[in-house]
Structure 1
Amino acid sequence: METYRIIFNLLFIMALQGPGAAGQPAPHQPSNAGDVLAPYRWSNRLLLIFSEDTNITDYQRQVSILQSDQMGMADRDLVFFRIFPDEGYTPDNDALTPAQVTALRERFDVGTGFTVILIGKDGGEKRTERKPLTLDQLYGTIDAMPMRQNEMKQNP
């Protein structure tokens, strides 16, 4: 379990630093132009973070909030995508194709500005906000979900 936590923390930090971090080459682009969220269904909850760029205060605040409780995110199987007007990144820090970015923006009807969207393990949209979600708001929404209730009973 400790190895899992170390690996998760390293991946989380790399994702926050962006492509090319720590001297690593920029990540490869996924070849699947289809539903980029599908591989996460039934295994992860997703937070889609849409922003004009990384310098937007709301974006920086949301990332800081998420970074402050990596263990809580791991416990809830929560990972996040970062999506900008012309680029985006998966939770594994793989670059999204322009077609995938466009498809996500159209699918969730995201215009300009900052938006966060919580997606449940079932692939359904659970919450949408135009301001950063606090951990209380985020975890409150997740912990009220029936699937999460079952997870907490199985792994107290």
Structure 2
Amino acid sequence: MKRLIPLVFAGLIASTGGVAANDDAAETLAPLQADEINLNDFLWVARPIVVFADTPADPRFIEQMTLLAARPKDLAERDVVVIVDTDPSARSELRQTLRPRGYMMALVGKDGGVKLRKPSPWSVREITRQIDKMPLRQDEIRLKKAAGG
């Protein structure tokens, strides 16, 4: 049974994962469910942000998802996918690996390593600053500049 995602994400395209374009060509988040995810699928391809809570009604979870939804383009530029887990009883592989206690936001690098764990919501600006400090991201920026983009 699918768990409910807060109404902030109603109408978003959930089948594509990460970031998707809607009819207005505006970018929107499409979070993935943790029980359907293996982090190895994202190795060297994307940077997962995993948001855990004991219930989708947790105010910190709702705030985090609202913050992420506010600036999806910034996340897309950094190859971020958003994964949510709001059902501790399902014991997803991600929950067993990352071992959250209640609410937690974790940033996983393209190399599969956990780069950041936070017990409170973080803005996209704070998250992207952390990503931009990573050596792999620095390489991506240099390559983009060298290619003229």
TM-score normalised per structure 2: 0.72
Structure 2 letter corresponding to 1:71: K
More helix by share: 1
Does residue 133 of the first structure (1) align with residue 122 of the second (2)? yes
Given residue 135 of structure 1, which amino acid in structure 2 is its aligned partner?
V
Say whether 1:109 aligns with 2:121: no
Query: Which portions of structure 1, spanning 4 or more consecutive aligned residues, are displaced by more than 4 angstroms?
Result: none
Give the superposition deviation at 1:81.
Answer: 0.6
In structure 2, C-alpha distance between the alignment counterparts of 1:67 and 1:9, rounded to whole Å: 13
Shift of 1:126: 0.2
Mark the runs of 5 or more structure 1 residues left unpaired by the alignment: 1-6, 20-28, 88-97
Deviations along 1:45-67, one digit per CA (max 9) or x if unpaired, are: 01010011211111111111111
Q: Please name the residue that 1:70 is paired with.
A: 72
Measured after TM superposition, the shift of residue 14 of structure 1 is 7.1
Deviation for aligned residue 1:15? 2.9
1:121–1:131 CA distance, 2 compared to 1 (3 A): same
**Larger strand percent:** 2
The aligned amino acid for 1:52 is D
Q: 3-state SS of the aligned residue for 1:121? A: coil
Deviations 1:93-133 (A, max 9, x none): xxxxx45x1x222211213x210000000000000000011
Q: CA RMSD in A?
A: 2.4
Gaps of 5+ in 2: 1-18
State the alpha-carbon separation in 1 of the partners of residues 133 and 103 from structure 2: 25
1:23 aligned partner: none
Residues in 1 aligned to 2:125 and 2:30: alpha-carbon distance in whole angstroms: 23
Amino acid in the other structure paired with 1:15: A
Go from structure 1 to structure 2 and tell me whether the alpha carbon gap of 1:142 and 1:14 turns closer, same or farther (over 3 Å shift). closer
Match of 1:92 in 2: none
Alignment: residue pair count: 122
TM-score, with length taken from structure 1: 0.69
Q: 1:39 aligns with which of 38, 41, 47?
A: 41
CA drift at 1:84? 1.7
Q: Is the 8 A contact 1:45 1:118 kept in 2?
A: yes
Does the aligned pair in 2 maintain the 1:45–1:77 contact within 8 Å? yes
